[in-house]
Every structure is written in structure tokens, then in C-alpha cells.
Amino acid sequence: MVETEEAEKDEFDKARDISDRHNRELLVSLLRANGKKTVELYGFWVGDSEAFPKSPQAFENISLERILDSGFRFKEQVLYRVHIESDIGN
């Protein structure tokens, strides 16, 4: 199934996948380098109509390695607790 999905991707999709992977690898490197065991990340979109980010609607505990999964995407209004060195499975 993965081979079929890859074959159906156009050049734009392939370039986006490469860029996404590169960005995830850079984020993981940055988080590893900070020296902390756990880091909290909260994303909000620039250009939202409000001046300040909204309160988190959900919380997720994830491992650092989860960020490298090809299907992983940060969700809006979710506060992530990233465990740098942990056995968290997600």
C-alpha cells in the first residue's frame, strides 16, 4: 500500500514530504540539545484573528521519536509534553 501511495504523489507532495521530514529532524535536534527531560510545545497559527493564543483544548504526552514518524502532525490548540528520554509509546 505504501508503494502505491508513493507512486501517486506528485513532485510537490514529494518535496513537501522531504521538507516536513527535514523540519521534524531539526526540531528533534533542537529539543535534544536543550538538556531538559521534558519540553512543552504549543502551536498556534500566525494570522489567527486573536492577538494571543487560545487555551489548550487537549494535552498529549509524546516521545521525542514520535515527532519523526512520517504521519505525525502537530494539532492546533494541543499542548504537547515531549519526553526527550522516555518510554512513552506515542
Asked whether the predicted pLDDT for residue 69 surpasses 90, the reply is: yes
Q: Give just the sign of the alpha carbon dihedral 19, 64, 76, 69.
A: positive
Q: What is the mean pLDDT of residues 51-80?
A: 88
pLDDT in tens, 16-52: 889 999 999 999 999 999 999 999 998 777 766 665 6
Structural domain span for residue 18: 2-83
**Is residue 88 in a domain?**
no
Give 3's contacts (C-beta < 8 A, 6+ positions apart).
none
> Could you give the CA distance from residue 50 to residue 55 in angstroms, rounded to a whole number?
12
pTM exceeding the 0.85 threshold for the entire prediction: no
**Is residue 23 in a domain?**
yes
Report the pLDDT value the prediction gives residue 53, as an integer from 0 to 100: 65
**Top-confidence residue, 89 or 67:** 67
When divided into structural domains, the chain yields a total of 1
